[in-house]
Chains A and B, each alone.
Chain A
Amino acid sequence: MTLWLPEATTTAPEVDHLILAMVLISCAVLALVFGLMLLYVIKYRAGSGIDRGAVAKKTWRLETSWTVATLVAFFGLFIWGADLYLRLFEPPPDAMKIYVIGKQWMWKIEHPGGQSEIDALHLPIGRAIELVMTSEDVIHDFSVPAFRIKHDVLPGRYESLWFEAKRLGTYHLFCTQLCGTGHAQMTGEIVVLTAPQFQKWLQQNGAGETLAAAGKTLFMRNGCSGCHGGNGVGGNQAGSAVRAPALAGLYGSAVTLADGTVVTADDRYIRDCILLPATQRVAGYPPVMPSFAGQINEDDLLKIIAYIKSLATEKPS
């Protein structure tokens, strides 16, 4: 039996510090509560002839002091926990994105280079990684105890979490949201490699085309290019009967919607545009795009998004 859990990410020690602080506070409070109870049941037991003296009638002084003390301590813990949480779920902008699809009862991982793996995630040490996750059926949860991180994986939308591994090794991956019969089998391993090892792993497993290249094929096959243009240039160019927004340079830019709101074109936005176009009308364009909900599976969706993302660098002229 080991009572020790590796701290395998840069943020794991911070989580442990917070937990340790609360363990110490709890021990102090328990010592006080159990200590006083023990003291009183011995000292003031019915058979004890000890002089009780006068019993305090006014209680508000004591009440106010322990109420204020509790409030102050709790507020401190709140700030500590909240600060850490905000950092745990704020991925750095340069994080490497890896895609995760959960389904009853397996994890499928898609690397940007087209490498995919089942119930395993290989990743390099010392590099911020952002996982973009979705589910094909029920709610799952991607949990890595050694990384002190978890997040639910929901159907119909992208959720993300990030971490930076700082310790080589193989760690448990658990699904921690009850997802049906095989819930306890929906586990896997997280393998942290050195950068050269990771490159080697990518090469050994990178048989096919990249996600973006596969996405380009899908972009053509699903007829996206009919309106958005062969290279996603958009507009009303020759060969395109409908005026549709340009996709080149779209990823990461600010988009003004028909209702005036401004959103950032991230994975989640592009996903919604494809599946729920009516809710994401871009200002100045007619709402003619059909919904692709139910037409494109999660795997292909990721590839199309990767393709659109790859157009980000091709600024429209």
Chain B
Amino acid sequence: MSATAIETSEFATSYLTDGFTLRSWLLTTDHKRIALLYLGSITFFFFIGGFAAALIRYNLIVPEGMIASAETYNRIFTMHGVVMVWFFLIPAVPVTLGNFVVPLMLGARDLAFPKLNLISWYLFIIAGAVVVYSLFTGGVDTGWTFYTPLSSSYSQGHVVMTVVAIFIAGFSSIATGLNFIVTIHRLRAPGMTWYKMPVFLWSLYATSVIMVLATPVLAMTLILLAFERIFHVGVFDPALGGDPLLFQNLFWFYSHPAVYIMILPGFGVVSEIVPCFSRKEIFGYNFIVWCSISIAVISFLVWGHHMFVAGTSIYSALVFSILSYLVAVPSAIKVFNWIGTMHKGYIRFDAPMLYALGFIGLFTIGGLTGLFLAALGADVHLTQTYFVVAHFHYVMVGGMVSAFFAGLHYWWPKITGRMYPEMWGRLGAMIIFIGFNLTFFPQFILGYLGMPRRYHSYPPEFQVLNVLSSAGATILAAAYLLPLAYLTWSLFYGERAPANPWGATGLEWRTPSPPLTENFDVTPVVTERPYNYPPPEVAPGHV
């Protein structure tokens, strides 16, 4: 189907060989190069955040805490949260995989605003530099949630600097979101109607809407926090005439939708991979698409479920509880649809598919445990304990990071022009699944038994489960280093990738790997629905 496009490309230049100077990278407006700049940056932050996580698990091996100072521990877990949330999870899929494949999937030359795309990377780097500076000059101890009045009047750390970093990173998010929205509206290839778009684009569209609408609220909240801290303007601190719950309301008004900024792109990735490796059209395309959109809408109306014991009105809790159940419905529908896609397929077990299956399993556990926390009577006992920690790590790490790896392996041949070593990829997927469960499953039990989160030391009866969790974390840490090693190896020694190694549909596979600077020689024309996988005539002996 793509033979002509690929033959002509022999004479064109791949984006990787189009200029070798530092300047050709740092001032590029090519979405593919910017995606790689972002990939390097978020990998750096992932390992900083991961190092902090390792220190957290190290500290909790013994009840009195391995790290002598409670203050140090508080600063470590705060940095873990800040770095992982704003400098890895929120940008991860959109700015790397999204940046790379959105124009390719649309059959476009680039994003709508290539310079804005580059600016968003620079904003991200400035924000990252500020956060790293605050980390190395002492950090901050308020937790990534910055609850007032602790953060505004009592904490001694670099609250303002960290908040400024997040403020800047927010503008990077907004720029990316805006760029995706305009691109998807304006730059679709001829024939690509909305319902012929791959689900990944729908997911990123929904994500972008949240980024553009929710991030400004965070920016305002953080400005108010900084004003209260510097100028003692009474907004949140009751001693200055403010209201501490106002901060929580504003913070979660952004931060709950932000959870969907993190997970929706993951849904999109999995929705590409499952049909491809099942050789079957996606089950319930329209339902999956509209689930993404409804999640984007409802996610703005559930923030109060973080505050069921915070001192808000009992009746508001009822409303937020039922809305939280409502937002879980579309996610459940998606899971059923992915399984429906596998039904009667021709399933292959390449690494992207294994990561995607891991995602479905872990995300389902994360989602189900969310139901516990949405049930008001149960939330009272479970909230603010390790149960919550386990719940959101199942969604964010088990779900989101697995989806990120799934997508990274899936598009790796397209991005780099090299195949990753398949057996290592599969091994990595399986070790991550095992290590992840060993780390976080014990935390559900710890939470039920009452162990509070953010504790530097704990009563001795919680030790066995903590040691189990820390042991799992060592496996998980090794498992995350594994892809770093073999993917780097493949850059130099990997087999050359063909244009379409997976036999996938989707326009990004109709251009060589790595793609040309201009993406396509001839603008492709779309005539059929996505995921039009014909059943293989002879089932390949690829198991």
A contact set with B: CB distance below 8 Å: 1-3, 5, 14-15, 18-19, 22, 25-26, 29-30, 33-34, 36-37, 40-41, 44-49, 52-53, 55, 59, 62-63, 66-67, 70-71, 74-75, 77-78, 80-86, 88-89, 104, 137-139, 141, 143, 145-146, 148-152, 154-157, 159, 172, 174-185, 187
Contacts and interface: CB of A to CB of B under 8 A. Distances in A.
A293 to B, nearest CB: 9
Interface stretch (B252-260, B326-334, B415-423, B487-495): B326-334
A175 B145 CA distance: 17
B342 A41 contact: yes
Given A63-B333, A75-B325, A180-B141, A40 B347 contact: yes
Nearest to B278: A44
Given A1-B461, A59-B283, A159 B311 contact: yes
A150 B384 contact: yes
Contact of A138 (B149, B279, B314): B149
Interface stretch (B43-51, B160-168, B315-323): B315-323
B150 A5 contact: no
A296 B349 CA distance: 70
Contacts of A181: 70-71, 74, 141
Contacts, number: 265
Contacts of A154: 238, 244-245, 311
Given A5-B449, A40-B347, A71 B329 contact: yes
Contacts of A71: 329
A62 B283 CA distance: 10
30 contacts: A1-B465, A18-B378, A29-B364, A44-B345, A49-B539, A52-B344, A53-B344, A55-B344, A59-B283, A63-B287, A63-B333, A70-B332, A78-B325, A78-B375, A82-B377, A84-B376, A85-B377, A138-B154, A139-B149, A148-B381, A150-B383, A151-B380, A154-B245, A155-B238, A157-B311, A176-B385, A176-B453, A180-B155, A183-B454, A185-B457
A70 B377 contact: no
Interface in B51-82: 65, 70-71, 74
A3 B325 contact: no
B141 A145 contact: no
A48 B59 CA distance: 49
A152 B309 contact: yes
A123 B182 CA distance: 63
B142 interface: yes
B452 A175 contact: yes
Contacts of A81: 321, 374-379
A85 B333 contact: no
Interface residues of B, number: 97
B348 interface: yes
Contacts of A62: 284, 336, 340
B351 to A, nearest CB: 14
B449 A145 contact: yes
Contacts of B150: 138-139, 178-180
A174 B347 contact: no
A78 B329 CA distance: 13
A177 B457 CA distance: 15
A148 B377 CA distance: 9
A155 B464 contact: no
Given A22-B371, A150-B381, A33 B360 contact: yes
A25 B535 CA distance: 36
B374 A174 contact: no
Contact of B70 (A36, A40, A85, A185): A185
B543 interface: yes
A30 B365 contact: yes
Given A46-B279, A143-B450, A37 B357 contact: yes
A3 B445 contact: yes
A178 B287 contact: no
B129 interface: no
B347 A67 contact: no
Contact of A15 (B335, B381, B539): B381
A44 B342 contact: yes
Question: What are the 7 A-B residue pairs with the smallest beta carbon separation, nearest first?
Answer: A145-B450, A84-B377, A156-B238, A81-B375, A85-B376, A1-B464, A176-B384
A41 B344 contact: no
Given A33-B339, A177-B147, A183-B456, A3 B449 contact: yes
A18 B372 CA distance: 9
Nearest to B282: A59
Which of B145, B361, B381, B384 is most buried by chain A, counting CB atoms within 10 A of its CB? Answer: B381
Contacts of A49: 539
B328 to A, nearest CB: 7
B133 interface: no
B380 A85 contact: yes
A14 B347 contact: no
Contacts of B458: 184
B521 to A, nearest CB: 32
Nearest to B353: A41
Contacts of B382: 19
A67 B328 CA distance: 11
Contacts of A40: 339, 342-343, 345, 347
B368 interface: yes
- Greatest chain B CB density within 10 A among A81, A139, A184 is at A81
A172 B450 contact: yes
Contacts of A78: 321-322, 325, 374-375
A155 B333 contact: no
Interface string B457-489: 111010111000000000000000000000000
A141 B380 CA distance: 11
Nearest to B368: A26
Contacts of B245: 154
